[in-house]
Structure 1
Amino acid sequence: MKLLVTGGAGFIGSAVVRLAIARGHEVVNVDALTYAACLDNVADAAKAPGYAFEQVDIRDRAALDRVFAAHKPDAVMHLAAESHVDRSIDGPSDFIETNITGTFNMLEAARAYWEGAGKPEDFRFHHISTDEVFGSLPADPSVQFTETTPYDPRSPYSASKAASDHLVRAWHETYGLPVVLTNCSNNYGPYHFPEKLVPVIILNALAGKPLPIYGDGSNVRDWLFVEDHADALLLVVQKGELGRSYNIGGENERSNLELVKTLCGILDRLQPKDNGSYADQITFVTDRPGHDARYAIDPARIRKELGWRPSVTIEEGLEKTVRWFLDNEPWWRKLQSRQGVGQRLGTGGGK
């Protein structure tokens, strides 16, 4: 299968590219190479004969038409997006332009290509989204997001992703474009860009800096190892039912404070400090405005219909992640100089 992957130099997209190439698929990696992208993420995959790279912004419709015409993909996996909630609070326009207008351009370019090719039955447009479109959950563990949970986005980021989800469904209903959708929980793992919680904690700990936790650390997330997510995405694009959405979760709910303490324990064991524990560096900071209390995914549909479950526990996945960051200092060192990394963002209004 030839896959056109947007955002393939980003965190989740690069995991998809690496796994797809490893499984023998051809991949066309379409990425604008904005601040969070890094071609080092796919350096090994790029050596494969079935790999091609196109530096294209999804806001550029003419460039997208050229890419489709040149490469003739069997399926699209649309991951390109602005995704950092704090940045969406400070600069929402980039999120509107990329996540909404960019998705519109992708849908129109894919539709023109699909219709021009005679509407092949095996073509797929797979839109990858987030559980944040569903809003915030109460503490009750019996309440989880399902595929029918009403949308209730709370930040510019989640609102822009909700809008893109609606566009994808509309293009399926109105034009018959063969689509599948997925909404995932919080990802973590190797190549995680160093502005998100897990890499921030690892790298601040190693640098002897405070480990910032919003509010009292009670906000709960369902944590999904990025390589498990990539596995699920490749399954959905090939086996998912047209027009259907699938929630992908890690089945690993943890509060932010629990997560940070687990990371500190792993670091204490793998690279102990001279004195004390890394947990001594934990610092509680003013909460993000509008911070959602809890996200939790009910993965029953993908488990029942496609037979998928995550392969690693949160403890196993976090240890793999810490070991990767310890072993790949040159990768993260050069990313720390990029705009906004290491700064507190999003203080004006709330992942």
Structure 2
Amino acid sequence: MIFVTGGAGFIGSNFVLDWLTQSDEKIINLDKLTYAGNLKNLLTVAKDPRHIFIQGDIADTQLIDQILTQYQPRAIINLAAESHVDRSIHGPEDFIQTNILGTFRLLESVRTYWNNLSTATKQNFRFLHVSTDEVYGSLASNEPAFTENHRYQPNSPYSASKASSDHLVRAFHHTYGLPVLTTNCSNNYGPFQFPEKLIPLVIVNALAQKPLPLYGDGLQIRDWLFVLDHCSAIRRILETGIPGETYNIGGWNEKPNIEIVKTICTILEEIYPNVVFHNLITSVKDRPGHDRRYAINAIKIEKELSWKPAETFETGIRKTIHWYLNNQEWVADIQTGAYREWIKKNYTELR
């Protein structure tokens, strides 16, 4: 069986569901169930004997040791992380605790577990650490996209904490021989994404006829990756990736935020021809230290592991919009008072 951390979050729950459609292999799913972890994401596998859910923290060494001893997983996919830049600006300590200290404690438990495996099992074991392109910093408009050899230049508490965790994973490979794999992905979007991130926030607000907040001039550029493409890349890397290597995962979809918002409005106006959504676009004060451009060069994973995304942005964004339209009860359930306070705190200061 395999062991996934953070498996009730956005990418994690998509990975768990996707894994169980592709394989009969059991999956242990550990999640702390913070604001972004949602067991409703996993309702379709709630009674599936292949899915074992455990609520807990990757920093809880006793619990991790117990899980490893009891279930003897052949691989670990570490998706547990605090991941929202804005939240890291307002409260960086949670990011330090989970992304750095939590990863360290997880690695320590895994190292002990791995050292005690039989020779054959030890050789086949893998620890796959999921990270972000934000560790590389910001690109100018004319600079080439990030490769796996790009210098780390994190600019937010979030990206700095993820960069730290990446370095720890690398060190545990080079110092102790732990067979690790690291992935750095571009901006994910798709089903089950908590509506603090741009795409679900715009969809949810548009349907409620609320302002569609756009930071600054809206010309910040990101590379967009459909979440199920990300899941397929993780599976491929787990199967055939070389221990110690890093693989960048991108969607080949560089687009400015303003284009993303306008595309969502256009599609919604096709679905609801009597409603105008474009006039809801509202400029808000830019966030501190906002990186201008991210772009992933995903040639390495395509050439070495024969992986490339199946979705274009045009197909992926339509699937995402229709998922939110068809799952408005899910959206309503997560819109707690805490969520509304967060949106109010971050998006009411108009330019």
TM interval, short-chain normalised:
over 0.9
Question: Paired residue for 1:313?
Answer: 312
Which amino acid in the other structure matches residue 57 of structure 2?
Answer: D
Structure 1: distance between partners of 2:160 and 2:131 = 11
How many residue pairs match? The answer is 343
Instruction: Identify unmatched segments of 5+ residues in structure 2.
Output: none
1:84-123 deviation per Cα after TM superposition (whole angstroms, max 9, x unaligned): 1000001000000000000001101111111112351100
Q: 1:20 to 1:208 in 2, by over 3 A?
A: same
How far off its partner does 1:194 sit? 1.1
How far off its partner does 1:344 sit? 4.7
Question: Paired residue for 1:184?
Answer: 185
Secondary structure in 2 matching 1:127: strand
Q: How does 1:79-94 map to 2 (within 5 A)?
A: 79-94=79-94
- TM-score normalised to the size of structure 2? 0.95
Q: 1:151 to 1:345 in 2, by over 3 A?
A: farther
How far off its partner does 1:243 sit? 0.2
Q: How does 1:293-304 map to 2 (within 5 A)?
A: 293-304=292-303
Structure 2: distance between partners of 1:306 and 1:299 = 11
Secondary structure in 2 matching 1:129: strand
- TM-score normalised to the size of structure 1? 0.95
Secondary structure in 2 matching 1:288: coil
Q: How does 1:223-238 map to 2 (within 5 A)?
A: 223-238=224-239
Equivalent position to 2:130, from 109, 128, 131? 128
1:9 aligns with 2:8: yes
The answer (yes or no) to whether the contact 1:90–1:345 under 8 Å persists in 2 is: no
1:301-331 deviation per Cα after TM superposition (whole angstroms, max 9, x unaligned): 0000011111111111110000000000110
Question: Paired residue for 1:172?
Answer: 173
Q: 1:337 to 1:272 in 2, by over 3 A?
A: farther
Secondary structure in 1 matching 2:343: coil
Worse-superposed segment, 166-175 or 34-43: 34-43
| Shift >3 Å, 4+ stretches | 344-347
Structure 2: distance between partners of 1:316 and 1:338 = 33
The answer (yes or no) to whether the contact 1:7–1:31 under 8 Å persists in 2 is: yes
Structure 2: distance between partners of 1:254 and 1:302 = 22
Secondary structure in 2 matching 1:136: coil
Structure 2: distance between partners of 1:281 and 1:58 = 41
Question: Paired residue for 1:145?
Answer: 146
Question: Paired residue for 2:116?
Answer: 116
Alignment root-mean-square deviation, CA: 1.2
Structure 2: distance between partners of 1:273 and 1:335 = 28
Q: Percent identity?
A: 52
Structure 1: distance between partners of 2:172 and 2:344 = 38
The answer (yes or no) to whether the contact 1:87–1:346 under 8 Å persists in 2 is: no
1:113-163 deviation per Cα after TM superposition (whole angstroms, max 9, x unaligned): 1111235110000000000000000111x6100000000000000000000
1:157-184 deviation per Cα after TM superposition (whole angstroms, max 9, x unaligned): 0000000000000000000000000000
Q: 1:47 to 1:288 in 2, by over 3 A?
A: same
Structure 2: distance between partners of 1:225 and 1:185 = 10
How far off its partner does 1:343 sit? 1.4
Secondary structure in 2 matching 1:235: helix
How far off its partner does 1:23 sit? 1.3
How far off its partner does 1:43 sit? 1.6
1:40-74 deviation per Cα after TM superposition (whole angstroms, max 9, x unaligned): 11121333221101111111111110111111101
Structure with larger RCO (C-alpha < 8 A, sep 6+)? 1
Which amino acid in the other structure matches residue 221 of structure 2?
Answer: V
How far off its partner does 1:346 sit? 6.0
1:44 aligns with 2:44: yes
Which amino acid in the other structure matches residue 133 of structure 2?
Answer: D
1:247 aligns with 2:244: no
